[in-house]
Amino acid sequence: MINVNNLFHSYTKDDNYAVKDVSFNVKKGEIFGFLGPSGAGKSTTQNILIGLLKLQKGKVIVADKEIRRFGKELFNTIGVSFEQPNVYKKLTGIENLKFHASMYSVPTKNPEELLTMVGLEDSINKRAEGYSKGMLQRLVFARSMINDPSIWFLDEPTSGLDPTTAAKIKEIIKQKRSEGTTIFMTTHNMQIADDLCDRIAFITDGQISAIDSPRNLKLKYGQKLVKVTQRTESGIVEKRFSIIDNKEKQQLKKIIDDNNFETMHSQEATLEEIFIKVTGRRLE
């Protein structure tokens, strides 16, 4: 559904690139995570894909059509959920969605159903200026579904949400994937990326460092470890042993043979640890 090849973009129109030689593809019905710290090039890439930034160099295909050839009809097939709460604050929740729905040339979803879906059913007729940050975020999220998009761009979809609401939003995203929606998600939240994404790309300084499924990235870059807890005179002690390093493997074998442990679990590296390992950068 999305094919990006050798994408470059410079705001200053020189060799100072915000996005440099970026290539990736997103398959139909896939959730693709674009992970990187602020200023890494996530928004620039997304803005090119949704037609907000003009394509300067490279090839971008969205919904099987080159982005240069797309007119306004592109926006009938995509939905965009912004991180900023960019709604009309003087309009109510339902008025915001109804207005947005009227801007499309395709059949749209029922605004009330969408607001109920994101838990705003009690604030349908309340002006958005009276919404909390989390409620505004959910309103923006609901608005992005109004045209039932086949390609859905999500920018930090759970930012500012409490765990229960975030879980509800994640469920909606998973449900959309099961219905065949292609999802491109930019985030710096490794947990949501790990929970939701089929594949992820790490981006720093405008360049992609790695693309794969979270599992493969962990297998490829993470150490295979076993976490062991032992009771000693000084109390409970926790130790990690690599099952690749021979010396540590022998130590672990001895503990098992001696039955000198309380608990033993295999452990994989977190995505955040892998991101740091691959890019040499933290996500903040």
Partner 1 sequence: MNKFLSLLDKEFKLTIRNYYLFIVLAIALILILVIRFVVPSEINMEKSLYLYPNKEAVKTLEDTNYQNLENKSTVFSSKEEVIKAMEKDYNSLGLILKSNNGEAGFELITQGYENDDIINMAIVDIQSYLGRIEFDDSSQVTILREGSSLENIPLNLNVVPLAIMLESALMGLFLISVMLILEKDHKTIKAFVTTPTNVTLLLGAKLITMLLYSFLSAILIVVFTVGVNVNWVNTLILIGLTSIWSSCLGLTIANLYKSLTSAMMPLIIVSLLLGAPVVSYFAPMFAPTYLKIMPTYSLMLGLKEALFVSGSNTMFLEAAKFSIFLVIIFSASTIMTKKFATGKQ
**Minimum distance from CB of 136 to partner 1 (Å)?**
11
Neighbours of 217 (CB within 10 A): 22
Site residues for partner 1, 142-161, by CB under 8 A, read 143
Per CB under 8 A, does 16 bind partner 1? Answer: no
Residue (78 or 161) nearer to partner 1, CB: 78
Per CB under 8 A, does 138 bind partner 1? Answer: no
With CB under 8 A as the contact rule, which of the stretches 48-56, 160-168, 218-226, 257-265 interacts with partner 1? Answer: 48-56
Query: Pick from 5, 27, 39, 103: which binds partner 1 (CB under 8 A)?
Result: 103
For 101, counting Cβ atoms within 10 Å of its Cβ (0-12 exposed, 13-18 middle, 19+ buried), the class is middle
Per CB under 8 A, does 68 bind partner 1? Answer: no
Residue (105 or 260) nearer to partner 1, CB: 105
With CB under 8 A as the contact rule, which of the stretches 66-74, 201-209, 248-256, 263-271 interacts with partner 1? Answer: 66-74
Per the CB < 8 A criterion, the answer to whether 220 and 244 are in contact is no
Residue (66 or 73) nearer to partner 1, CB: 73
Residue (18 or 61) nearer to partner 1, CB: 18
Per CB under 8 A, does 87 bind partner 1? Answer: yes
* 3-class secondary structure per residue, 34-76: EECCCCCCHHHHHHHHCCCCCCCEEEEEECCEEHHHCCCCHHH
Distance CA 77, CA 55 (A): 19
Residue ranges of the alpha helices (H) in 69-207?
Answer: 74-77, 93-101, 111-117, 133-143, 163-178, 190-196
Residue (84 or 132) nearer to partner 1, CB: 84
Distance CA 109, CA 44 (A): 29
Of 231, 192, 214, 197, the C-alpha closest to 275 is 214
> Which residues share a beta bridge with 164?
none
Residue (32 or 82) nearer to partner 1, CB: 82
Size of the site for partner 1 (CB under 8 A): 31
Tokens 């602020």 map to which residue? 38
Per CB under 8 A, does 11 bind partner 1? Answer: yes
Q: What share of the chain is helix, strand, coil (3-state, %, to 5)?
A: 35, 30, 35
Query: Pick from 82, 131, 184, 202: which binds partner 1 (CB under 8 A)?
Result: 82
Query: Pick from 55, 91, 172, 255: which binds partner 1 (CB under 8 A)?
Result: 91
Per the CB < 8 A criterion, the answer to whether 40 and 206 are in contact is yes
Per CB under 8 A, does 95 bind partner 1? Answer: yes
Per CB under 8 A, does 45 bind partner 1? Answer: no
- Binding-site ranges for partner 1 (CB under 8 A): 11, 50-54, 72-76, 78, 80, 82, 84, 86-91, 95, 99-100, 102-105, 127, 140, 143
